[in-house]
């Protein structure tokens, strides 16, 4: 990435924060060089607060962090576009964007929120959590659980009711996301693979 020009606005650059999944603009903040470097290091968006003249990591009080996916600067090298996975609402008023918009109308988006939650469990490993117990049991046990839940879904698909198929499929998805998290992968990686396969020029690997 080309070096950012922090001089045009007296050491600051605007940072546009955009949801990496929905592509909705979540908020606008400002960064100085120190805030930018901390964002790169922590992978959590950090701004320079013009109110208190201090660094401010979004979510440090509320827990609603903005987890960085990518950072780009514009053609003039004086504005940043930061793609993120938000952990919860972005606005302090409780809405998903600072323009009062909800970001999660599509239920599919909950899968990314669920993985954010599972990743937090993986980092903190709280006692008494079922998710924690899966991580402690190890990769083989997690893979086994995915297989067991997939079999349950197949059984319900062939012999059960739709409501039971949905229930067992939810169990399967949950355990699959736990497995992906343990491997350092995201559910978005699966979506990207399916997107590639949707291309008419795609050919299955040998």
- Residue 77: its pLDDT value, please? 92
Q: Is the pTM of this model over 0.75?
A: no
Instruction: Name the band, by pLDDT with cuts 50, 70 and 90, for residue 145.
Output: very high
Which tens digits make up the pLDDT trace of 169-200? Answer: 999 999 999 999 999 999 999 999 999 999 88
DSSP class of residue 183 equals T
**pLDDT average, residue stretch 12-33:** 93
Distance between CA 69 and CA 201 in Å, rounded?
28
Decide whether 13-86 matches 107-197 in CATH topology.
Answer: no
Lowest mean pLDDT among 32-46, 147-161, 170-184, 187-201: 187-201
Residue 206 confidence (pLDDT) = 55
Task: For residues 106 and 144, give the distance between their C-alpha atoms in angstroms, rounded to a whole number.
Answer: 30
Strands 25-31 and 13-19: antiparallel
Residue 194 is predicted with a pLDDT of 93
Q: In what order do the strands lie in the sheet with 13-19?
A: 25-31, 13-19, 80-86, 66-73
- Residue with more model confidence, 107 or 182: 182
Assess whether pLDDT exceeds 80 at residue 107. Answer: no
Structure tokens of 153? 């879904």
Q: Yes or no: is domain 13-86 CATH 3.10.20.810?
A: yes
- What is the model's pLDDT at position 104? 54
Dihedral-angle region of residue 34 (phi above 0 means left; psi in -120 to 50 means alpha; beta otherwise): alpha
In angstroms, the Cα distances linking 19 to 25, 66, 82, 144, 147 are 6, 9, 9, 33, 32
Q: Which of 110, 106, 77, 93 is nearest to 26 (CA)?
A: 93
* pLDDT value of residue 4: 93
Domain limits, the chain: 13-86, 107-197
CATH C-level class of 107-197: mainly alpha
Mean residue pLDDT across the chain: 92
Output the six-digit token pair for 87: 């952990």
Dihedral (C-alpha) 89, 90, 91, 94: value to the nearest 10 degrees?
A: 0
Cite the DSSP H helix spans in the chain: 33-42, 110-124, 130-137, 139-159, 162-182, 187-197
């Amino acid at each position: 990435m080309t070096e950012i020009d922090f001089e045009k606005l007296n050491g600051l650059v605007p940072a546009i924060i955009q949801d990496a999944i929905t592509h909705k603009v979540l908020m606008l903040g400002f960064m100085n060089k120190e805030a930018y470097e901390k964002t790169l290091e922590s992978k959590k968006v950090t701004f320079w607060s013009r109110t208190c003249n201090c660094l401010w990591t979004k979510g440090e009080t509320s827990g609603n962090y903005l987890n960085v996916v990518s950072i780009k600067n514009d053609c003039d090298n004086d504005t940043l576009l930061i793609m993120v996975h938000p952990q919860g609402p972005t606005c302090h008023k409780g809405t998903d964007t600072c323009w009062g918009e909800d970001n999660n109308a599509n239920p599919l988006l909950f899968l990314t929120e669920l993985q954010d939650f599972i990743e937090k469990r993986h980092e903190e490993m709280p006692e008494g959590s079922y998710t924690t117990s899966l991580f402690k049991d190890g990769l083989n046990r997690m893979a086994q659980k995915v297989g067991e839940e997939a079999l349950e879904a197949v059984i319900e698909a062939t012999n059960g009711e739709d409501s039971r198929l949905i229930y067992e499929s939810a169990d399967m998805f949950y355990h699959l996301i736990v497995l992906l998290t343990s491997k350092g992968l995201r559910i978005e990686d699966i979506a990207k693979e399916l997107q590639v396969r949707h291309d008419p020029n795609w050919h299955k690997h040998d």
